Amino acid sequence: MLIHPEHRAHPLVEPSDFAAPTLPLEVAAHEARLRTVFRWAHDYLCGPHPDLGRRGAVCPFTDTSLQRGLFYLSVHPGSPGDPDELAALLLHYRDWFTELEPRTGPTAQFKTILVLFPDLTDFGVVDRAQQELKPEYTRDGLMLGEFHPGPPEKAGLWNPAFRPLHSPVPLLAVRHMVPTDFPFLRDDDSTVAAYLQRFGDRVPAHLREHVQAAAARLTTSGS
C-alpha cells in the first residue's frame, strides 16, 4: 500500500495487497468494496464480453496494469453532492498520479488510479464530473473515466447497444492518454486539439482518416 506523506488519509491499495488474507488496517473498513472492485477488474475488464463487438478484453490495458503492480485503488466515503466537490476530491489523486513512477516511457501507459465512492447514490454526479473535467485532464495528457452501476449511458465503440462502463461501485479512473484514445475524444474540439498536440505525429494507421477529418474540422472552425 502506498501512503502519501502529506495526504495519509487516502492511501493507494496495490494489487499485491489483495494477496493477503486481509487488507492493511488503514483501509480495513472498506475491504469488501475494494475487493469487489478488484475482482471486477480481473473478471470483467480483463476478460472478453459477448456484447463487446470485438475480440479481446473489455479493457486491453488492465491485465498488464495489474501484472505490473500499477493498478491502484483508493476510497472516499460519503456522498459528494455535486461535480465540483468530486473534482476537488480528485485533485490529490491527479497530482499524485503525475508523481508516481513510471512517469515516462511505454510502461507509464499502464499506470491507473481508481477512486471509489461507495456511498454515492446519485450516479449523475459521477457522469457530470467526468464530462466537466475531461477537457482539463486531456490537456494534461490524462484520461478520466466514469464507471458506476447505472451504468453510464455511453455506448460501446463496436456495439452501440453495449454499455461498457458498468461497475459494481461508483468510481472515477485516472490514466495516461494514449494514441488509441482518439475515439473517446473526437466529439469535442478541445479534446481533439489536446489529442493532436500530443499525438499528431504518431496516430495509429486505423485512426488516421478520422483524425485527419477532425483536424480539418478544427482548421475550418478556427479552433
Q: State the residue for C-alpha cell 492511501.
A: 11
pLDDT at 222: 63
Tally of CB atoms within 10 A around 172: 24
Q: HSE, CB side, 13 Å, CA atoms: give it for residue 213.
A: 8
Task: Dump pLDDT digits (tens) for 32-42.
Answer: 999 999 999 99
pLDDT at 7: 84
Strand (E) or helix (H) holding 113: strand 112-116
pLDDT at 8: 86
Regarding pTM above 0.85, the answer is yes
- Spans in the chain with pLDDT lower than 50: none
pLDDT at 9: 85
Order of all β-strands in the sheet with 71-75: 71-75, 112-116, 171-176, 142-147
